[in-house]
Structure 1
Amino acid sequence: MTYDLLVRGGRVVVAGDQRVADVGVLDGAVVAIERDLAGAAREEVDATGCVVLPGAVDAHVHLNDPGRSDWEGFATGTAALSAGGTTTAIDMPLNAIPPTLDGASFALKVAAAEGVARVDVALWGGLVPGDLDRLDELADAGVVGFKAFMSGSGVAEFEAADDLTLLEGMARAARLGLPVAVHAESDALTSRLAARAVAAGRTSMRDYLASRPVVAELEAIGRAIAFAAETGCALHVVHVSSGRGVALVAEARARGIDVTCETCPHYLVLDEDDAQRLGAAAKCAPPLRPAVEVEALWDRVLARDVDLIATDHSPSPAALKDTRDDAFAAWGGIPGAQTLTALVYDKGVVARGLALERLGMLVAGMPALRFGLAPAKGAIAVGADADLTILDPAQSWTVERDALLDRHKLSPFVGMALRGRVVRTVLRGETIARDGQVVGAPLGRVLRRR
């Protein structure tokens, strides 16, 4: 047989296991996974000594096109994603102008991505106060689900969902068979704590951290779970920052509620001391937590209570981070498109013994399954898209700002030494990035939920 691509001799993460094998690709799909495959290929890649993972499915990115491409855009954001081993990204509905709130704005987002995206892209729709019929439009267009904020989103165009909007929106989403993802922080707590601090002139990073305590996350998660139980809606809690928050989700799931959660590399790698050291570069919401919370979160990852890990890549121009001593005024978002797989490999697999097959599920398998992109995405399997991340576990490297491909290169991970580097990313059988650089023309497609 003649293949389009043969990846030979790597440790392939497949079907909850790992084994040394060759991966044969034809017409963009995996057609064989066996040791010492016979036959020739248009292209052969020697992956001896490397780990071959399913291409990462980053379920939480803010690419901001159209309307805020000066913050980020499909071209630059997906270049960074591809260099880091991501082959599919799910773009959030806010930050673009207009936000993705109906069929027309979905079409604008598709037009902005076509011809420039270097990875495949799926889209979240927005759940905001207003006409719930727009959710039907978005479902028909092909969104993977609906995103709602239980506190301010940070942009005027995307209003937070009050309790009635969230409850009724979840009921509509349940009828449509789509999940609702929530940013779970209590606005009643965080907004008043922030206002009190600013009024008193307390605007340092330490003051910002204190204004968004863990209890604000716990209260909102509990409320969202109650709404999901009442409506029968599938619930996904984004960027959970605490082990206690994950525990609430795990306990609800044990009671039969359809709820999952994600965390992000920055909550697993950085803590509140890093926030105070780095300043606005490490500002996010929920904020970074004390070191003890970081370890509690890792405990939940290792216990398999965390369903997936996503970047929440949320870039902005440098001017929005340069707010001198006012942490409240700085944009709250951490860019991380290029470092997802490497960070989880180093801090999880190398440092804590996380199994390779579990890494594959956290960054690829579970997001594809939860958000309707499987079986084409999320696994190395016969018939699936040939989306592969090849990682060299022997390479030690340091994250350097000049090597980042997102628009503003403001990553708080710059200077971090890591073990294990993504050396090649393959999308539907075509190499799209090699050794940190993009390769060839953009091949990304816009995906609709299956």
Structure 2
Amino acid sequence: MSNQSLVVTSRNVLLPGSDQLQPATITVNIGTGKITDIQTVYTERSPGGETTFIDAGEKFVIPGLVDAHVHLNEPGRTDWEGFWTGTRAAVAGGITTVVDMPLNSIPPTTTLQNLEIKRQTAQGQCWADVGFWGGVIPGNQADLKPLVAAGVKGFKCFLIESGVEEFPCVTERDLHAHMLELQDQSTVLLFHAELEGDSCSVRNHEQQDPTAYETFLSSRPQELEVNAISLITVLQEKYNSLRCHIVHLSASSALPIIRAARSRGLNLTVETCFHYLCLSADDIPHGRPEFKCCPPIRSESNRDALWEALIDGTIDCVVSDHSPCVAELKKFEEGNIMTAWGGINSLGFGLSLLWTEGQKRGISLGQIIRWTSEETAKHAGLSSSKGQLSVGHDGDLVIWDPAAEFKVSKEHFHFKNKFSAYEGMILNGVVQQTVLRGRLAYDRTQNGFDGLTPTGKLL
């Protein structure tokens, strides 16, 4: 085991339990990858010996982010995204851990054998640490306990068609069998919470303009999310030892149901996404399918309500739901939002997006890190090693320039398919260096990845 150390010092470090930045010097053992010492002083000179020394000066030092909702799509749809490109995009944006969704890869992560295929494919390709969600589909309940034992962080299911045939949605009847199987396990069941019912379904709108965002928005009304979350809370009354989690909440009208469920003691957690907090349906131009995602980006007033729910703790955390595809599937030429693939390319921009939008709303950096690092690590069962700068935790940290401004352009896209709803936006906050378990994973001062090799682990 190496005795080499990395020492990082700054006048502005975000340590756990405080929203205030303070001077600190952090030592990481490169051999173990763990933080071994934190002194609340700024150190002006290298300790020497077998030490790599980084003096961040006035720049901020924050924990590496944990993005608990990413579609890496490999194997099977590697032209959409892959471990190599996706994890490079992550570390360039200060994300040191991603948790990969079970679908859009072929095969999906619904059996132990499929998990092994995915892990073998990922070997040697990861610039960030990578964990895996498993999948719940009709009839795979016997596969769930073996997947828990193999280390999946939880399970994702859909209450509406997923968009890919190898990952069908589940019915209420299916869920009883799966939840019964999982209720004594240390795991979580994640729901894509849109549900069609007698009074409400995904509307076709063939008579309306398919290039108008309003046409798409009216086809996926908030009631779909209300229906789904109502069902989830009913199921939880029966299986409340199993934590349930709502992925990518977009509908503010579901917030009263969530608050009521929590007040009844139900073990329910909720995430939302950067795009629901930083974009508004009111500003989306015609013929721009890069803004399509499911559930949709909604109105400005809806966005304000999501921010309020995040601030008051109703929503626990914020993730990217980076859900890429190849350009042809986005239907850019015809601008047809209705037939385009739904998903927003965003991996690596979340910190800058929340910082830029949050400054308009009086949000502190401590709150942002709580939502994107501490709570996401907790959600994915990683809080003993990820999500904060503490002795004994992994030496995952980011040196960040909060004042730097940039205009989002293709040169900033490290993900595979170079388009995004954020292109052209002016954002604040730039990652200078990303450290993964004591080793440099990204260095903007040295052209990003020059001279570096991927050291990400499979969690």
TM tier, smaller: over 0.9
**Match of 2:37?**
32
Match status 1:231 vs 2:236: no
With normalisation by structure 2, the TM-score equals 0.92
Q: Distance in 1 between matches of 2:168 and 2:11?
A: 47
Q: Give the SS at the match of 2:14.
A: strand
1:319 partner amino acid:
E
* Partner SS for 1:299: helix
- Please, which of 18, 25, 42 is the counterpart of residue 22 of structure 1? 25
Kept in 2: contact 1:16–1:358 (CA 8 A): no
Asked if 2 retains the 8 angstrom alpha-carbon contact of 1:190 and 1:211, the reply is no
Q: Amino acid of the residue matched to residue 23 of structure 1?
A: I
Alignment of 1:155-174 (within 5 A): 155-174=164-183
* Aligned with 1:203 (options 200, 210, 218): 210
Q: CA deviation at 1:192?
A: 3.9
1:264 partner letter: C
102-111 or 213-222, larger mean C-alpha shift:
213-222
Query: What's the secondary structure of 1:176's corresponding residue?
Result: coil
Matched residue type, 1:39: P
Aligned to 1:443: 455
Whole-Å separation in 2 of the counterparts to 1:380 and 1:398: 30
- Counterpart CA distance in 2 for 1:183 and 1:280 is 21
Change beyond 3 A, Cα 1:354–1:154: same
Aligned residue for 1:229, secondary structure, equals: helix
CA RMSD of aligned residues (A): 1.8
Residue by residue over 1:97-116, the C-alpha shift from the partner in whole angstroms, topping out at 9 and shown as x without a partner, is 00000100000110111100
Structure 1 partner of 2:97: 88
Partner of 2:428: 419
1:228 counterpart letter in structure 2: Q
Same amino acid, percent of matched pairs: 36
Alignment-derived partner of residue 221 in structure 1: 229
Q: CA deviation at 1:248?
A: 2.8
Matched length = 443
Q: 194, 198, 201: which one pairs with 1:185?
A: 194
User: Is the Cα–Cα contact under 8 Å of residues 68 and 100 in structure 2 kept in the other structure?
Assistant: yes
* Pair 1:393-2:402 in alignment: yes
Distance 2:176 2:52 in 1: 52
> Which range moves more in the overlay, 436-445 or 280-289?
436-445
The match for 2:154 is 145
The one-letter code sitting in structure 2 at the alignment partner of 1:337 is: L
Task: Evaluate the alpha carbon distance shift between residue 263 and residue 302 of structure 1 in structure 2; reply closer, same or farther with a 3 A threshold.
Answer: same
Distance 1:21 1:247 in 2: 42
Pick which of 3-12 and 281-290 moved more.
3-12
Give 1:242 shift.
2.9
- 8 Å CA contact 1:127–1:146 kept in 2: the answer is yes
Does the CA contact (< 8 Å) of 2:68 and 2:376 recur in 1? yes
Out of 49, 68, 74, the residue aligned to residue 59 of structure 1 is: 68
Per-residue Cα deviation, 1:104-154 (whole angstroms, up to 9, x for no partner):
000011011110011000000000101310111211211000000011111
Q: In 1, Cα distance between the equivalents of 2:400 and 2:236?
A: 38
Amino acid at match of 1:84: G
After TM superposition, the structure 1 stretch with the greater mean CA deviation from structure 2, 304-313 or 34-43, is 34-43
- Counterpart of 1:437, as a letter, is G
Structure 2 match to 1:11: 12
Residue 383 of structure 1 deviates from its aligned partner by 0.6
Native 8 Å contact 1:335 1:411 kept in 2: yes
Instruction: Give the deviation of 1:29 after TM superposition.
Output: 1.1
Which of 329, 344, 347 aligns to 2:357? It is 347
**Residue aligning to 1:124:** 133
Query: Which amino acid letter does the alignment assign opposite residue 273 of structure 1?
Result: D
Residue 190 to residue 426, structure 1, CA distance change in 2 (3 Å):
farther
User: Does 2:309 align with 1:289?
Assistant: no
Where in structure 2 are there 5+ consecutive unaligned residues? none
Quickly say closer, same or farther: Cα 1:25–1:325, change in 2 above 3 A. closer
Q: What CA deviation, in whole Å up to 9, does each residue of 1:335-367 have, x standing for no partner?
A: 11110111112211x222222222111111111
Change (3 A) 1:84 1:105: same
Does residue 338 of the first structure (1) align with residue 348 of the second (2)?
A: yes
Q: Secondary structure at the match of 2:88?
A: helix
Return 5+ residue gaps in structure 1 as ranges: none
